[in-house]
Amino acid sequence: MDYQKLIEEIHAEVEQMNLHGQVATYIPELAKMDLHKFGISLITTQGEEFKVGHTNDKFSIQSISKVFTLAMVFPKEKDNLWKRVGVEPSGNAFNSLAQLEYENGVPRNPLINAGALVVTDLLRSKEPDALGAILGFINRLAGTNQIIPNKDIAQSELNHSSRNKALAHFMKSFGNITSPVNELIETYCYQCAIEMTASELAQAFLLFANHGINSLTEQQLLTLSQTKRINAIMQTCGFYDEAGEFAFKVGLPGKSGVGGGIAAVLPNQFSVVVWSPGLNAKGNSLKGMKALELLTTKLGHSVF
């Protein structure tokens, strides 16, 4: 398969479609992103990278960080994790408070904000330097030591974190958060503000295409079953309230973030990251969704 030719073709095709979308504005620092950026990086499980467009620009991974924290916490907590957070799609916006009330402070899944806050809370309870541990984990997966959070973005999100604080306080009232809320939100905002290039993110995401093995160090970080479960959660919950649409059109487990990134995997084959900051109404990268839809359609391969 000539992946290079394929992704160049897709990049050109999507560029001609006049898709723009809107940058996220609820975190003011994110509103400064350039709508014209568009890059695709695909890395095979053999370690070969194919890329086109803006694959060396750093962007904040935002909610994609939730998959990494889940991958850190799951092997330690094992099935105890599922007492604190569920595995069902929410069908609601990523930062919705509504469901939490009638489900007694147990978030639907680890990829919505409430669920990710529980995961980060669990990490904080075991790691005195939780942010340092997250950065260490991601840097090792990406094979670098250059990945850090963007402080301006983290600060901007912290200044506009009333809703995330409300989620954390609400869950704390049910005993499902143990950290002091301000400290938890600070760790969470910094994890979301971690900046990576599309290439770095595709390299790090290879973990989920590669049976839970860090292909650079050959370390088995997740069991086969844990990898399967994380991929299943990405498939059903990775795209806000558009996870059904993503499965329908693309058919790959993946996760999007409001920084415009989408990371996805075809298990045993490749990881792929598309970055373009223009989002659709559901918060997913417009060009990213289209590019991945074309990728699986042209390849004739998806998890289905």
Is-contact 116 69, C-beta < 8 A? yes
Q: Does 278 contact ligand GLU by CB under 6 A?
A: no
Q: Which is nearer to ligand GLU, 110 or 257 (CB)?
A: 257
Rule CB under 6 A: say whether 179 interacts with ligand GLU.
no
95 binds ligand GLU (CB under 6 A): yes
Q: How far is CA 50 from CA 5, 98, 240, 270, 302, in A?
A: 9, 42, 28, 10, 18
Q: Does 44 bind ligand GLU (CB under 6 A)?
A: no
- CA dist., res. 172 & res. 195, Å (int): 29
* Residue 192 within binding range of ligand GLU, rule CB under 6 A: yes
92 binds ligand GLU (CB under 6 A): no
The identity of residue 226, as a single letter, is Q
Listed in sequence order, the DSSP H helices in 51-95 are: 65-77, 81-84
Binds ligand GLU (CB under 6 A): choice among 164, 236, 284, 296 = 164
- Name which of 7 and 24 has its Cβ closer to ligand GLU: 24
* 120 near ligand GLU, rule: CB under 6 A: no
257 binds ligand GLU (CB under 6 A): yes
> Considering the rule CB under 6 A, would residue 113 count as an interface residue with ligand GLU?
yes
Contact 297, 17 (CB under 8 A): no
Would you call 40 helix, strand, or coil by DSSP?
strand
- By CB under 6 A, residue 94 contacts ligand GLU: yes
* Residue 190 CB, nearest approach to ligand GLU (Å): 10
Q: Report how far apart, in Å, the C-alpha atoms of 15 and of each of 106, 273, 293 are.
A: 42, 16, 14
Select from 41, 44, 55, 62 the one that contacts ligand GLU (CB under 6 A).
62
Q: Does 59 bind ligand GLU (CB under 6 A)?
A: no
Q: How far is the CB of 60 from ligand GLU (least distance, A)?
A: 8
User: Which listed residue (157, 186, 241, 242) binds ligand GLU by CB under 6 A?
Assistant: 157
Query: Which of 273, 138, 147, 142 shows the shortest CA–CA distance to 216?
Result: 142
CA nearest neighbour of 205 among 8, 78, 43: 43
Contact between 286 and ligand GLU (CB under 6 A)? no
Helix (H, G, I), strand (E, B) or coil at 196: strand
Q: For residues 35 and 19, what is the distance between their CA atoms, to the nearest angstrom?
A: 10
Residues that bind ligand GLU (CB under 6 A): 62-63, 94-95, 113, 157, 164, 192, 257-258
